Amino acid sequence: VPELSVTASTGVYPVTIEAGLIGRLPDRLREIAGPSRVLVMGDSNTFPRFGRDLAEALGASSWAVPAGESSKSWEALEEGCRQCLEAGLDRGSTVVAIGGGVVGDLAGVIAALYLRGIRLVHVPTTLLAMVDSSIGGKAAIDLPQGKNLVGVFKPPEAVYIDPELLTDLPDREYRSGLAEVLKYSMIADEQLYDSLLANRQKMLEKDMDLLTDVVTRCCAIKAGVVTRDEKEKGERAILNYGHTFGHALEAATGYARLTHGEAIGVGMAVAADVGVAMGVTPAGVSASQAELLSAYGLPQSAPGLATVAETLALTSRDKKNRGGATPWVLLDRLGHATPGHSVDPEVLERAAGRALGSGEAG
């Protein structure tokens, strides 16, 4: 069974990836929680499917939030702390987050703040949460002015990943997570790129052996990056490849027209376009990325969905932004990216124009 480990400022935590792991979770969690109370937290999708049984097996308290980004709010944070109090959680207690990125984020902030911090275990149920948000300790809620503006670094005690939970994940959500998987291959793992291109059909059919291997590779990349650079002083920024434009596009379209993965697909295409124009990304690498995104049905443009001016204005409002400049992550070869690139505004405008314009987009 693959077990990775992440070294955070607060200690080392394991990431276990195993098909069928969900059935063995009560025993694992009892070991972590000891005699203290546990709160199992899910959302209106995941709680009935996985959370309720787990809470019952553990004799734990439970709480389910409405599914969706709107649960990353002050109101949900306040309610979550109240739930912890009512469940009688003390400083030795554990919150188990079973769900996608929203549940993991909200649970992370709650577990960081309640009594100045209690234990947290992530059981991600979406591909996106498995390969991305459950590892690395970032947790946040949203403000009306932007996503993830209020949060903490809250490393978990453990991350338990069961790829079998993906079996009945809706197709559009699975593909949304695949965008992050493709991103990992582009920024850090040429072999993964080859495997994803060669095994497209098996990936889309969720072949469990392949999926477990791919998830493990992605988690290994993320675990390595966040171990070396927990607080994003440098290298960790490469994980934002495709996200500078992608996040802005999500915001410009009101988080309604595109999934996160679709926006990241467009963002990766724009970043490759920019990289080529800046002389950082070889044209062949950009073409390889286009081939991979196409193979997985991810969009590389969003014609007419937003204006260039608004979307670029939103890239510079990103919270990574400091003192005005928006640094870009660019590919310098297949399977390798570097952060911190200053990009000529005219290059940006042309690339954004190609992605958002009608007709000439590609």
What are the residue numbers of the active site?
116, 138, 180, 222, 232, 236, 240, 243, 247, 260
Secondary structure letter of residue 202 according to DSSP:
H
Cα end-to-end span (Å), the chain: 41
Contact flag: residue 313 with a second copy (CB under 8 A): no
Contact flag: residue 9 with a second copy (CB under 8 A): yes
Contact flag: residue 36 with a second copy (CB under 8 A): yes
Q: Which two tokens stand for residue 22?
A: 């969900």
CB atoms within 10 A of CB 74: 11
**Minimum distance between the CB of residue 344 and a second copy, rounded to whole angstroms?**
22
CB atoms within 10 A of CB 188: 22
The region of 83-91, 165-173, 270-278, 340-348 touching a second copy under the rule CB under 8 A is 83-91
Q: Considering only residues 3, 90, 205, 291, which one is a binding residue for a second copy as defined by CB under 8 A?
A: 90
Contact flag: residue 112 with a second copy (CB under 8 A): yes
| Rounded distance between C-alpha atoms, residue 244 and residue 256, angstroms | 18
| Rounded distance between C-alpha atoms, residue 321 and residue 149, angstroms | 12
Contact flag: residue 59 with a second copy (CB under 8 A): no
Contact flag: residue 70 with a second copy (CB under 8 A): no
The region of 44-52, 148-156, 172-180, 333-341 touching a second copy under the rule CB under 8 A is 148-156
Judge contact between 235 and 227, C-beta under 8 A. Answer: no
**Minimum distance between the CB of residue 88 and a second copy, rounded to whole angstroms?**
10
Q: Considering only residues 115, 278, 295, 361, which one is a binding residue for a second copy as defined by CB under 8 A?
A: 115
The region of 54-62, 147-155, 197-205, 208-216 touching a second copy under the rule CB under 8 A is 147-155
Listed as own residue / partner, the contacts of 315-324 with beta carbons closer than 8 Å and 24 or more positions apart are 315/244, 315/245, 315/247, 315/248, 315/348, 317/146, 317/248, 318/244, 318/247, 318/248, 319/146, 319/148, 319/149, 320/232, 320/237, 320/240
| Rounded distance between C-alpha atoms, residue 343 and residue 305, angstroms | 23
The region of 11-19, 76-84, 183-191, 261-269 touching a second copy under the rule CB under 8 A is 76-84
**Minimum distance between the CB of residue 237 and a second copy, rounded to whole angstroms?**
12
Q: Considering only residues 20, 59, 66, 117, which one is a binding residue for a second copy as defined by CB under 8 A?
A: 117
**Residues of this chain, 274-303, that bind a second copy according to CB under 8 A:** none
CB atoms within 10 A of CB 242: 30
Contact flag: residue 32 with a second copy (CB under 8 A): no
Single out the residue of 110, 221, 125 nearest to residue 156, CA to CA.
110
Contact flag: residue 348 with a second copy (CB under 8 A): no
Q: State the residues that interact with a second copy by CB under 8 A.
A: 9, 35-36, 74, 78, 81-82, 85, 90-92, 109, 112-117, 138, 140, 143, 145, 149-153, 319-323
